[in-house]
Structure 1
Amino acid sequence: MRYLLLVSHGGFAEGLKTSLAMFAEDKMDQVVAVGLANGSSVDEFAIKFRESIKFLTEDDSVVVLADIVGGSPLTTALNVLSELGKLNDATVMGGMNLSMALTSIVMKDVLSGEDLVNAVLAEAQASIQEFKVVSEEADDDEDDI
């Protein structure tokens, strides 16, 4: 089985998992979310993370999404995965958002390696854009011209 691991500062990972459930409820048993609580140490996070993935078997693999590349939650999670021999076949990405998580959970069993990374990052980047609101007043002015 391939699992999606969400790691973050604070409650972002848990909140993202809650939002993800609105779109992929049937896959939530394949998602683990762990956040580094404010005031907690990296060692405490490592214990919490290790506990949350203790069910992984030798045949399981992981896709890891993190809020910040190089942040303590990600580096600590990667250290734990390395200790467990799970890092070599892991797919790891940072800057997570809902589009990225949704694409990961839906495509993790269909795509792998660079194909998965490319699909996930393309969706994540496409979702980041400005949304311009045009007021009715502006529309009315344009009609008069």
Structure 2
Amino acid sequence: MKNILLISHGAMAEGVKGSLEMIVGHLEQIHTVSLKPDGDNIQFENDLLAKMKALNGQTLIIADLAGGTPCNVAVKNYLEDDQVEIVAGMSLPLVIEAAVNSTITADELVGLSKDSIVNVKAKMQQTVEVTATEVETDFDKYKEYEGKAKLVNVRIDERLIHGQVAGIWATSLDTQRIIVANDEAAADSLQKSSLRMAAPTSIRLSVLPVSEAAANIQKGKYGKQRIFLLFKNPADVLRYLEAGGSFETINVGNMSYKEGAREVTKSIQVMEEEETVFEVIASKGVKITAQLVPNDPSIDFMDKLRN
């Protein structure tokens, strides 16, 4: 496993690490060294050398600023070290990519970081090609794929597509298409545009009414594509199953607090009526797990809910 060392002026490195762990969970390979507000190049160099001495194997150093003291000290000490790569221009997307993709090169990281800078308002004003309603109903040409959809993950996540889904789950599972099954999102052009922006550009996206998602997937419309099926709430999941959809396992990721809800896990709060829905889903033979990010252990959600 490649070590990742974040270096910065002040608390930036620690802040980025903290934000990273909110999204992907705790990672043992992430470390930080900071130039303290009352420190200097000597303080930083001593701290850097001590930290590097404690690390084994390949290390990627990500500095906040090219030409700044942290970057300059790293270059001075490790320019000729084949076990150390140094990148400047720290950002959360860059660090996430480095953390979840252990084989990525320094040059590839730099290229991806450029793509992560987006003029959001301008992008939202563009016409975004997201499938709202796939009106084609002739499924005969997909007959060979009927009932054979490759669902790499089925998840309940109230936030739908966000950092954990787009940056961690979808990429780690080699997802080719994300399908959001939610009537409200499918009818809202602004929400569809937001979802398209949040999804990785390399992954196809369909935002569909629940019943249509069930029909398309069961009839094999997406062939051999690796599909990540995403629901906003358990009620939509039950409607999907009642519309003829099927899957063996579903992962509950995020359900935020609402007045009257009780905490099942730190990221999952459920209302009494939602508990009933989960019981019905489980009675249909669906295994329900709770797992925020892939690095977390998968737990039996219904055991947790009932205790």
1:74 aligns to 2:68 (yes or no) = no
Equivalent position of 1:29 in the other structure: 28
Q: Distance in 2 between matches of 1:118 and 1:43?
A: 30
Equivalent position of 2:46 in the other structure: 47
Length, aligned pairs only: 124
Residue number among 105, 117, 120 corresponding to 2:109 in the alignment? 120
Describe how 1:1-145 pairs up with structure 2 within 5 A. Answer: 1-26=1-26, 28-57=27-56, 60-81=57-78, 87-108=81-102, 110-111=103-104, 116-132=105-121
Q: Give the secondary-structure state (helix, strand or coil) at the position aligned to 1:96.
A: coil
Q: Give the secondary-structure state (helix, strand or coil) at the position aligned to 2:118.
A: coil
Q: How far off its partner does 1:105 sit?
A: 1.2
Q: Distance in 1 between matches of 2:28 and 2:52?
A: 12
Segments ≥4 residues shifted beyond 4 Å: none
Q: How far off its partner does 1:77 sit?
A: 2.5
Q: Could you tell me the TM-score, scaled by structure 1's length?
A: 0.74
Q: Distance in 1 between matches of 2:92 and 2:68?
A: 19
Q: How far off its partner does 1:97 sit?
A: 0.3
Q: How far off its partner does 1:65 sit?
A: 0.7
Q: How far off its partner does 1:127 sit?
A: 1.4
Higher alpha-carbon Rg: 2
Q: How far off its partner does 1:29 sit?
A: 1.0
Q: Distance in 1 between matches of 2:107 and 2:51?
A: 28
Q: Give the secondary-structure state (helix, strand or coil) at the position aligned to 1:70.
A: coil
User: Partner letter of residue 113 of structure 2?
Assistant: A
Q: Give the secondary-structure state (helix, strand or coil) at the position aligned to 1:128.
A: coil
Q: Give the secondary-structure state (helix, strand or coil) at the position aligned to 2:39.
A: coil
1:11-35 CA deviation, whole Å, 9 max, x = no partner? 1011011111122324x21011111
On the 8 A contact 1:66/1:96 being kept in 2, the answer is yes
1:31-61 CA deviation, whole Å, 9 max, x = no partner? 111111112111011112222233223xx01
Q: Distance in 2 between matches of 1:12 and 1:88?
A: 27
Q: Distance in 2 between matches of 1:89 and 1:51?
A: 16
On the 8 A contact 1:103/1:119 being kept in 2, the answer is no
Q: Give the secondary-structure state (helix, strand or coil) at the position aligned to 2:23.
A: helix
Q: Which has the higher helix share?
A: 1
Q: Which runs of 5+ in 2 are unaligned?
A: 125-307
Q: How far off its partner does 1:123 sit?
A: 2.4
Q: Distance in 2 between matches of 1:121 and 1:76?
A: 20
Q: Distance in 1 between matches of 2:107 and 2:42?
A: 33
User: Partner letter of residue 52 of structure 2?
Assistant: I
Q: What value does the CA root-mean-square deviation take over the aligned residues?
A: 2.3
Q: How far off its partner does 1:4 sit?
A: 0.4
